[in-house]
């Protein structure tokens, strides 16, 4: 159990830091005010003097981890958005509980560090990319949706593999092969079957993310 000391007084930031450490290992379900108080070596009422409820803790957690991202220094709008997308993907893979937030929390939770990234993306698209503010915001939301969706799928695959003890893509396909063989035997999915048999980058998640990201960024200019 972590114990607060006079040199490290209880604060909202310390509560958020503790919550992130717990969530990184055990997931969001482990985050309760009682659990955090126990980790900090204080009473629940002491914690409530600094945060109102779990929702506020989650907001502080989101802002804390987004503060790990150094603002990218791209020289044009595409470089800037590419760097932001890659940084957010890395962040979510490091803190997979971010994918377990509710849709409103994941998409619309405005915290200082998250809003700073949005501000940078909007500025790049408007000032350098020449988009009006409505189009720039639509592009930001499209990019955010892609990054969150692609990374959530990546984490879902990782969880599936861990749950079944599969260590490689080949292991995963072998584990799923009974259902896959049954589906493909219907002959209703010939192109998907070709993908399974012929595609060379089925297990290259970074390439898949980068390719999708390039497609999104290409679409912004259309």
Q: Is residue 2 part of a domain?
A: no
Decide if pLDDT at 73 tops 90: no
Note whether 125 and 24 are same-domain residues: no
Q: Is residue 188 part of a domain?
A: no
Q: What is the pLDDT of residue 6?
A: 46
Decide if pLDDT at 203 tops 60: yes
What CATH number corresponds to the domain at position 39?
Answer: 1.10.10.60
Its pTM surpasses 0.85: yes
Q: What is the pLDDT of residue 3?
A: 53
Note whether 54 and 113 are same-domain residues: no
Query: How many domains does one find in the chain?
Result: 2
* Separation between Cα atoms, residue 146 and residue 169, nearest integer Å: 23
Note whether 79 and 128 are same-domain residues: yes
Domain that holds residue 51: 12-65
Note whether 61 and 157 are same-domain residues: no
* Separation between Cα atoms, residue 176 and residue 170, nearest integer Å: 10
More confidently predicted of 160 and 222: 160
Decide if pLDDT at 5 tops 50: no
Note whether 108 and 212 are same-domain residues: yes
Decide if pLDDT at 58 tops 70: yes
Helices (H), 28-132: 33-40, 44-48, 54-66, 77-94, 103-108, 112-123
Reported confidence tier of residue 107, pLDDT bands at 50, 70, 90: low
Note whether 128 and 107 are same-domain residues: yes
Give the list of residues 6+ apart from residue 117 with CB closer than 8 angstroms, or none.
66, 69, 71, 84, 88
Q: Is residue 154 part of a domain?
A: yes
Note whether 127 and 215 are same-domain residues: yes
Look at residue 171 and give its three-state secondary structure.
Answer: helix
């Amino acid at each position: 159990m972590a114990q607060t000391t006079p040199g490290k007084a209880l604060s909202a930031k310390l509560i958020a830091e503790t919550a992130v450490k717990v969530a990184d290992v055990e997931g969001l379900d482990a985050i309760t005010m009682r659990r955090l108080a126990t980790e900090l070596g204080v009473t629940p009422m002491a914690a409530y003097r600094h945060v109102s409820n779990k929702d506020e803790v989650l907001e502080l957690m989101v802002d804390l981890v987004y503060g790990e991202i150094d603002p990218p220094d791209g020289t044009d709008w595409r470089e800037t958005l590419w760097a932001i997308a890659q940084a957010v993907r890395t962040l979510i893979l490091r803190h997979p509980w971010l994918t377990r937030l509710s849709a409103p929390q994941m998409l619309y939770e405005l915290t200082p560090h998250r809003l700073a990234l949005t501000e940078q993306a909007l500025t790049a698209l408007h000032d350098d990319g020449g988009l009006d503010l409505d189009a720039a915001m639509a592009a930001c939301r499209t990019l955010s949706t892609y990054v969150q969706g692609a990374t959530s799928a990546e984490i879902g695959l990782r969880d599936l593999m861990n749950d079944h003890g599969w260590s490689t893509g080949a292991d995963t396909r072998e584990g799923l092969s009974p259902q896959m063989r049954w589906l493909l035997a219907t002959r209703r999915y010939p192109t998907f079957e070709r993908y399974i048999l012929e595609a060379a980058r089925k297990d290259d998640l970074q390439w898949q993310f980068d390719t999708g990201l390039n497609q999104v960024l290409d679409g912004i200019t259309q």
